[in-house]
Amino acid sequence: MNPRLIQHGLRSMVSESNKIQAKINGENREVSKGFSISDLLESLDLNPLLVVVELNAVIISKERFGEIEICDRDQIELVHFVGGG
């Protein structure tokens, strides 16, 4: 086998192992392995005070954002208040 392909394959395996897949607001997104909810919000430039997080249908209190690690295939909903009647 072409050594360059092997190298490429190894590199993509390494890069894949650093990422997990999560469904965020209905979209499949890659998230860095080890990311907490706080890390995720920061990476999306969202103010944690203005966001409510539902992780696999359970609401997560803001105090726990830093300690909860996102796992592969987690379903995450990020919601906030918008105009309504």
Partner 1 sequence: MIQEKDQLEIGNRVFNSRLFVGTGKYSDNETMVKAIKASETAMVTVAVRRIDLDRSQEEGILFHLDPDEFFLLPNTAGCYNVKDALRYANLGRAAGFSEWLKLEVIGDESTLLPDTQATIEAAKILVADGFKVMAYTNDDLITALRLEDVGCVAVMPLASPIGSGLGVVNPYFIREIKRRCEVPIIVDAGVGVASHACITMEQGVDGVLMNTAIAMAENPVLMASAMRLAIKAGRSSYLSGGMQAREIAVPSSPTKGMLD
For partner 1, the binding residues (CB under 8 A) are 24-27, 44-47, 50-52, 54, 57, 59, 61, 77-85
Of 15 and 43, the one with the shorter C-beta distance to partner 1 is 43
As measured in angstroms, the least distance from the Cβ of 3 to partner 1 is 40
Rounded to whole angstroms, how far apart are CA atoms 22 and 41? 14
Partners of residue 36 on adjacent β-strands: 69
The C-alpha R_g of the chain, in whole angstroms, comes to 16
As measured in angstroms, the least distance from the Cβ of 7 to partner 1 is 34
Strands 52-55 and 58-60: antiparallel
Of 62 and 73, the one with the shorter C-beta distance to partner 1 is 62
As measured in angstroms, the least distance from the Cβ of 52 to partner 1 is 4
**Tokens standing for residue 17:** 């192992």
